[in-house]
Amino acid sequence: MNARKRLIAFVTFIAGLYFVLEFIVPPTVPLVTVTGVALSKRLPVFQLETASGQNAVVEADPSVTFYVLRRSKSGTFEPKPQRSREIQKGQIVTVRTRTVTLGGFGPNGERLDSNGNPIVLRQGEVPYTTDGPDTSLPVWSFEKLMGRVGPDGEAILAMLDEGEAINIEIRDAKVADVDRGQIVLKMNGESRTVPITDYSVIMLNKRRSQPEEVEMHSVQVGDTVSIGPNTWLRDQRDTATQFYAVVGTLALGMGLISLGVVNIRKIKKRESEWYTAFLFFGAIVIGVLAGLGKYELTGTRSRAFSDIIVLQVINAMGSSIFSLLAFYLASAAYRAFRIRTAEAALMMGTALIVMLGQTPFGMYLTGWMIGTFEFLQLPNVAGWILRTPSSAFVRALQFGAMLGAIATALRYWLNLERVAGMGDD
């Protein structure tokens, strides 16, 4: 086996292995996982060091969301939600501890929430507004939260109306320590305390459906849960998806290059109808402009241009091509559907019943059959044919296609397929 063939075989095997593992390996490591009924729990607690040097303690209850900065498609860094079990010591995180809806003011001028309780900020917490173009605008300081005047003479939070929401967050804090908590499970009649580690996954077992990963705070007393070490592949699924999407998009460029080469050659060699190659390049320019305008708001010129090209030109042309099918179908059906054998007659009869049954004419023709003979109405007969015998045949075809696909996939995966270009020269 030469090096190229070995490389192709290895890459193919690894890529196929991922899909195989997706359907075989459970999310937690078997035999090490413990399963039982939840009796009680202690939520994870995160010790944070804020950018200003303060120490904060956050318990991962349902109102808490952790964010980690990730690079977005536009190249900027944006906070992305992260599961609490994925937050590791030393990581820089932003924690939204809660979202509060503002109420009125208390007797001492303190700001209340919508339930009439005073808004109390714990150490390290800073309130941020949720609306406006920049949701990262901090609501100055705790004093201002109390409704007092800001340094520029304006009451900032006091300006926020009752019913407006603020996010209370700890931004850019370093995770100093993590206590993942524990769950007490009832297993085989005994209770057992299961500590949650950095690599634990909690799966909620449901009757008659697949287990689902949940956060600790979602576990209720009485739930049957499985706790075990995570399989590393699980957390890389999003990466795999993005890689897949990137490769798919890269391929578009290759197609354009191929078309460009063909058309340039056409112009150079003055092949038949070579002037159509100019139309190709013109169409690329128009397509790019139309594509850029697609994201503009309705009413702008570029959006209007894009809509004209897509909705009126391409739309109409696409429909015309599709309409070819109807005519081709009619001529192909006329040419080919001749009854020469008994099987052909049976097929023809079935086709006529199903075709007429799916159009209202079937009801016109047989709608008079009511009562005991209602089942003989063409739509009912057509429906029965589609739901019963046709379904059975489709299943049989799908079994065959599925097994063929499995066999072909196995051959490629295990490098048993002898196809040139796949390393077998």
Contacting another protein within 187-246 (CB under 8 A): 206, 209-213, 231, 233-234, 237-238, 240-242, 244-245
Q: At CB < 8 A and 24+ separation, what contacts does 24-31 make? A: 25/231, 25/233, 26/211, 26/231, 27/201, 27/203, 27/211, 27/213, 27/230, 27/231, 27/234, 28/201, 28/203, 28/226, 28/227, 28/228, 28/229, 28/230, 28/231, 29/228, 29/229, 29/231, 30/228
Q: Which stretch binds another protein (CB under 8 A): 53-61, 68-76, 100-108, 153-161?
A: 68-76
The reply to whether 361 sits near another protein by the rule CB under 8 A is yes
Q: Which stretch binds another protein (CB under 8 A): 168-176, 178-186, 192-200, 398-406?
A: 398-406
Q: Which is nearer to another protein, 39 or 69 (CB)?
A: 69
Q: At CB < 8 A and 24+ separation, what contacts does 347-352 make? A: 350/385
Q: Which stretch binds another protein (CB under 8 A): 34-42, 66-74, 84-92, 136-144?
A: 66-74
The reply to whether 256 sits near another protein by the rule CB under 8 A is yes
Whole-angstrom Cα distance, residue 374 to residue 313? 47
The reply to whether 7 sits near another protein by the rule CB under 8 A is no
Site residues (CB under 8 A) for another protein, limited to 106-135 = 130-132, 135
Instruction: Find out whether 111 and 147 touch, Cβ atoms under 8 Å.
Output: yes
The reply to whether 315 sits near another protein by the rule CB under 8 A is yes
The reply to whether 73 sits near another protein by the rule CB under 8 A is yes
The reply to whether 408 sits near another protein by the rule CB under 8 A is yes
Whole-angstrom Cα distance, residue 267 to residue 276? 9
CA 156, chain centre distance (Å):
39
Q: Which stretch binds another protein (CB under 8 A): 34-42, 145-153, 177-185, 336-344?
A: 336-344
The reply to whether 400 sits near another protein by the rule CB under 8 A is yes
Q: Which stretch binds another protein (CB under 8 A): 84-92, 114-122, 178-186, 388-396?
A: 388-396
The reply to whether 24 sits near another protein by the rule CB under 8 A is yes
Report the DSSP beta bridge partners of residue 166: 100, 129
Q: Which is nearer to another protein, 21 or 120 (CB)?
A: 21
Site string (274-313) toward another protein, x via CB under 8 A:
-----------------x--xx-xx-------xx--xx--
Given 81, 118, 195, 349, the residue binding another protein (CB under 8 A): 81
Instruction: Find out whether 77 and 140 touch, Cβ atoms under 8 Å.
Output: no
Site residues (CB under 8 A) for another protein, limited to 158-187 = none
Q: Which stretch binds another protein (CB under 8 A): 44-52, 54-62, 180-188, 347-355?
A: 347-355
Shortest CA distance to 380 belongs to which of 398, 362, 397? 362
CA dihedral 321, 325, 326, 329 (to 10 degrees): 160
